[in-house]
Structure 1
Amino acid sequence: MNWLKKILIKKSPTNNSGIFCSEISNIIGYKPKNILLFETAFTHRSLNKVTITGNALNYERLEFLGDAILGSVIAAFLYNNAPKGDEGYLTQMRSKIVNRSYLNSIGKKLRLIDLIKTKANIANFGDNINGNLLEALIGAIYIDEGFTACEKFIYKNILVDFKDLEHLENKISSYKSLFIEYCQKNKYTFKFENCEDEGKDHVKHFTVKLYFNDLVIARARATSKKKAEEKAAHRAFFVLQNQMESY
């Protein structure tokens, strides 16, 4: 295995220049022991890299691990800081912190997309690539330095915005979920009507009409059905803001 590492290091321009190692060190707050882990955390599947045993070599497995570590750290944070919260409350609060939109914003803030290695056109990646790379980075930190280092990174970069749990309680993590719950509780009818957008964009888009009591209350367009529905529900929230806020 040592000879394989030497070959990989020799072929990697980022290791030869030291730029990649320096950039990673600035992001995570320490010098990595195994820089190959972090190179894997920023390797996209489009490169079709494999290990000597034929296993895929990209960030997806580290993303899976990082997601689990992130969930554990946040669960412990909420357990310690919300002693009166029951299981339902803690679960709801955790989902508000780990929602994809927020993780994407942290990934963008850290400019993780600048480090990705891919054959695909970065312009065609959706916003979720930022959160995916963030989770892969957390997975690499865990293997490289352990749980304590992960915890420190997560507190510094993610939980720093959630010291005020009362503010977090009022944060809306999904306008679609809120809209559906509001309609179901009050026995209002609703429907998300989706169709593929035939516009001239290089990236496929979807449009959605949101019906409320048989009337179109909002329209939206996005690169996925899920995003379009969330955007439409967000717009519907502002139309029905007074009623929904009281709900």
Structure 2
Amino acid sequence: MKNIRNILNSRFKRNGNFFMQLHKILGFKPKNLKYFKKAFTHRSMNIKDSKGNAVNYERLEFLGDAMLSAVIASHLYLEVPSGDEGYLTKMRSKVVSREHLNELGKELKLIDLVESKIPPGQFGDNIHGNLFEALVGAIFLDRGYKHCEKFIYNRIITPHVDIERLEGKVISYKSLLIEWCQKEKKTFNYNVYDDTGIDEVKHFSVKLSIDDKVVAKARATSKKKAEEKASKRAFFVFQNKISKML
């Protein structure tokens, strides 16, 4: 009997701490903790419900992403009546970019709430944005659209959405550089190769050539990151010319 009481007290304490942390992040009291527990459960826990469905935050990511897009799209539609579809789509992408969502997740220290069998240090940066999306999905299920909209305004739109600043923000230097090269009829090539350095983690290096001339080099833990880093360096080489497209 004593062991059962200890287990229940321990569970109550954990749930109480979780509730208090959530309340601080959300700005309101959650009604049903089960949605938020799922929002912070990593797939490595390998938990399934009574029907055999996986219990983790991945499906909530999908829902949260849709809610973010809807609320941000509505705000931009009302805020920029002169913006056409292409402009509004580009601006929304800047607000909900993976980089920005990762920053928001880090700011709220969402990683501290995760239940996982993987050490926190082994997660990639994207888990921060994934958790933010899952949290938004959980808010929608727990309290409905209005609370979800209010949270997005409080955490994203009010502090971060400045139309003039966003217009000049670059989401992907690689995409921007390719667009500029195509517009100016310049040839470009990303020569990516394995880096045989002494690092424990495998690295890739890239040489970016424009019109057969190497304009930037970079090194990173993935081909995508190396190409983006090289593109950013090339952007600053041609900044005055490329900036005219922004």
TM-score by length of structure 1 reads 0.90
- Please give the alpha-carbon distance, in whole angstroms, between the structure 1 residues aligned to 2:159 and 2:105: 14
Q: Which residue of 2 aligns with 1:88?
A: 86
**Corresponding residue to 1:196 among 188, 194, 197:** 194
Show the 5 A alignment for 1:161-172.
161-172=159-170
Show the 5 A alignment for 1:1-247.
13=11, 16=14, 18-247=16-245
Q: Indicate conservation of the 8 Å contact 2:95/2:161, yes or no.
A: no
Cα pair distance change 1:31/1:161, threshold 3 Å: closer
Cα pair distance change 1:177/1:184, threshold 3 Å: same
Cα pair distance change 1:181/1:103, threshold 3 Å: same
Cα pair distance change 1:11/1:68, threshold 3 Å: farther
CA deviation string 1:189-240 (max 9, x = no partner): 1111223334444444332221111122112222322222111111111111
Cα pair distance change 1:146/1:184, threshold 3 Å: same
Q: Indicate conservation of the 8 Å contact 1:14/1:21, yes or no.
A: no
Q: Which amino acid aligns with 2:232?
A: H
- Please give the alpha-carbon distance, in whole angstroms, between the structure 2 residues aligned to 1:13 and 1:223: 40
Q: Where do 5+ consecutive residues of structure 2 fail to align?
A: 1-6
- The number of aligned residues is 239
- Please give the alpha-carbon distance, in whole angstroms, between the structure 2 residues aligned to 1:214 and 1:58: 48
Task: Out of 134-143 and 44-53, give the one that drifted further.
Answer: 44-53
- Please give the alpha-carbon distance, in whole angstroms, between the structure 1 residues aligned to 2:10 and 2:182: 55
Cα pair distance change 1:14/1:77, threshold 3 Å: farther
- Please give the alpha-carbon distance, in whole angstroms, between the structure 2 residues aligned to 1:170 and 1:14: 49
- Please give the alpha-carbon distance, in whole angstroms, between the structure 1 residues aligned to 2:12 and 2:189: 50
Task: Out of 129-138 and 229-238, give the one that drifted further.
Answer: 229-238
TM-score by length of structure 2 reads 0.90
Q: Which residue of 2 aligns with 1:6?
A: none
- Please give the alpha-carbon distance, in whole angstroms, between the structure 1 residues aligned to 2:22 and 2:243: 43
Cα pair distance change 1:199/1:49, threshold 3 Å: farther
Q: Which amino acid aligns with 1:242?
A: N
Q: Which residue of 1 aligns with 2:4?
A: none
SS in structure 2 of the partner of residue 18 of structure 1? helix
Cα pair distance change 1:204/1:29, threshold 3 Å: farther
CA deviation string 1:6-34 (max 9, x = no partner): xxx95984754511111011001111111
SS in structure 1 of the partner of residue 219 of structure 2? strand
**Superposition RMSD on alpha carbons, in Å?**
1.9
SS in structure 2 of the partner of residue 77 of structure 1? helix
SS in structure 2 of the partner of residue 158 of structure 1? helix
- Please give the alpha-carbon distance, in whole angstroms, between the structure 2 residues aligned to 1:24 and 1:170: 34
Cα pair distance change 1:17/1:200, threshold 3 Å: farther
Cα pair distance change 1:37/1:172, threshold 3 Å: same
- How far off is 1:70 after superposition? 0.4
Q: Which amino acid aligns with 2:19?
A: C
